[in-house]
């Protein structure tokens, strides 16, 4: 299964294609969609939509996993992130992709076993799990990898439970 993990943001949106294969997970590709700060907000959101749609057409992921928002003290940042997230959720739905949402604590729990793990620990384990260096990439990319890993693990658990007759 190929999962597109997304860490939404207006300025930077991290994305990662995390592929599940026999014996583990591997990172197929990852990056950031960046929108220029000086552009009108609508144009920036449209750029995100177009970037997402192009990647989906090209790589054909089986599912999209996106991080749920947590409340922020900076209301203007929270609003911009929620708008970017909404555009990406809508684009995934329009593309008829299975959409899965995870809280930051669920993502940290899946990657590290600790829902309160610090970012450096999450980043270190993401690199280990995916066997990728990820040197010099923004945190948004590492976070998107973590969201993709989270869904791969959740989907694997669901498959195991249904194969064993547990529902």
* Band of residue 165 on the pLDDT scale cut at 50, 70, 90: low
* Contacts with 122 (C-beta within 8 Å, 6 or more apart), sequence order: 107, 108, 111, 112, 142, 143, 146
Residue 137 has pLDDT above 90, yes or no: yes
The predicted model scores a pTM of 0.91
Is the Cβ–Cβ distance between 28 and 19 less than 8 Å?
yes
Indicate the burial class of 147 (C-beta count within 10 angstroms; 0-12, 13-18, 19 or more): buried
CATH code assigned at 39: 3.30.420.10
pLDDT at residue 76 in the model: 75
Q: Give the pLDDT confidence of 34-57 residue by residue, as tens digits.
A: 999 999 999 999 999 999 999 999
Segment 80-87 mean pLDDT: 93
**Coil, helix or strand at residue 30:** strand
Q: How many structural domains compose the chain?
A: 1
pLDDT of res. 75? 77
Pinpoint the alpha helices (H) of the chain: 41-59, 75-94, 104-112, 119-130, 139-163
Q: CA 33 to CA 159: how far, in whole Å?
A: 32
Q: Which residues are catalytic?
A: 7, 67, 140
Whose CA is closest to 3, among 106, 163, 145? 145
Closest to 13 in 3D by CA, of 91, 73, 126, 118: 91
- Domain range holding 48? 2-163
Predicted local distance difference test score (pLDDT) of residue 80: 87
**Which tens digits make up the pLDDT trace of 10-24?**
999 999 999 998 889
Rounded Cα distance between 166 and 95, Å, is: 31
Does the pLDDT value for residue 72 go beyond 90?
no
pLDDT, average across residues 146-163? 80
């Amino acid at each position: 299964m190929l999962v597109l993990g997304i860490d939404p943001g207006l300025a930077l949106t991290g994305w990662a294609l995390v592929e599940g294969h026999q014996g583990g997970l591997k990172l197929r590709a990852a990056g950031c969609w960046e929108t220029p700060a000086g552009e009108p907000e609508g144009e920036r959101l449209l750029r995100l939509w177009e970037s997402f749609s192009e990647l989906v057409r090209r790589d054909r992921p089986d599912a999209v996993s996106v991080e749920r928002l947590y409340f922020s003290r900076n209301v203007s940042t929270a609003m911009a992130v929620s708008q970017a997230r909404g555009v990406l959720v809508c684009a995934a739905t329009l593309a008829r992709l299975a959409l899965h949402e995870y809280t930051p604590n669920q993502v940290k729990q899946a990657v590290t076993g600790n829902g309160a793990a610090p970012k450096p620990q999450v980043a270190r384990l993401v690199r280990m799990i995916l066997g990728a260096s990820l040197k010099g990439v923004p945190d948004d990319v590492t976070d998107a990898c973590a969201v993709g890993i989270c869904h791969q693990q959740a989907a694997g658990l669901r498959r195991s439970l249904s194969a064993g007759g547990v529902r």
